[in-house]
């Protein structure tokens, strides 16, 4: 039996796509929203080695007032398996300035792990497996059919362009967010979906 927070049509689609429902412990404290107002999907990578460690980070409380953490709505592992941690009817903390109207999708990928903010470790080397990108395209198309207001897609790096001093050399500024990074094939994904791609220049 799916968790009580999942609506009937979401349950039906989740079974079709084999989405494992695994709600975070604090979802009832996340802000409620009308899914009809969602107009944007944001693609992230976890910058962590596996789903289990991503879950540990997702459960950590970062917002003391609401006692909630940072996470996406959906997580896609390297083998294409999909988990949903936050219902679409709740606002997840996954991108600065765009959370209320967006869905966060996280792809398991090492990114810059474990030296995210070292000046000499800013290359993202891991490729995205085909099973993972095919699952992403299927999920995006499914969300498009379910959410009439969903029109746009962007990368985390497109929406959060903030710079910060590197940890090892504070005089060297680095990007706070680089995901999904240079190995994410935007052309491949865009050929399979109907959403409009947003970049930093569009915002």
Predicted pLDDT of residue 203? 72
What pLDDT, on the 0 to 100 scale, is given for residue 195?
98
Hey, CA dihedral for 51, 140, 80, 155, is it positive or negative?
Answer: negative
Token pair for residue 150?
């969903």
Retrieve residue 162's tokens: 């903030």
DSSP-derived 3-state class of residue 33? coil
pLDDT in tens, 167-195: 999 999 999 999 999 999 999 999 999 99
pLDDT of residue 199: 84
Look at residue 12 in the predicted model and tell me its pLDDT.
35
> Residue 1's pLDDT is what?
30
- E-only strand ranges, 18-67: 19-21, 40-45
* pTM tops 0.85, yes or no: yes
Domains parsed from the chain with CATH numbers: 8-202 (3.40.80.10)
Spans of the chain below 50 pLDDT: 1-15
């Amino acid at each position: 039996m799916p968790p009580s927070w999942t609506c009937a049509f979401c349950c039906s689609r989740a079974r079709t796509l084999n989405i494992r429902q695994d709600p975070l412990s604090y979802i009832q404290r996340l802000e409620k929203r009308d899914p009809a107002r969602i107009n944007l999907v944001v693609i992230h990578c976890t910058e962590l080695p596996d789903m289990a460690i991503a879950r540990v980070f997702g459960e950590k409380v970062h917002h003391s007032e609401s006692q909630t953490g940072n996470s996406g709505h959906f997580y896609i592992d390297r083998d294409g398996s999909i988990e949903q941690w936050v219902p679409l009817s709740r606002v997840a903390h996954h991108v600065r300035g765009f959370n209320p109207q967006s869905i966060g999708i996280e792809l398991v990928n090492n990114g810059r792990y474990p030296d995210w903010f070292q000046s000499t470790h800013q290359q993202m080397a891991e490729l995205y497996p085909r099973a993972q990108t095919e699952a992403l395209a299927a999920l995006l198309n499914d969300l498009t059919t379910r959410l009439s207001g969903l029109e746009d897609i962007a990368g985390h790096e497109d929406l959060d362009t903030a710079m910060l001093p590197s940890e090892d050399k504070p005089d060297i500024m680095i990007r706070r967010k680089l995901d999904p990074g240079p190995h994410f094939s935007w052309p491949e994904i865009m050929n399979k979906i109907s959403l409009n791609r947003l970049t930093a220049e569009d915002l």
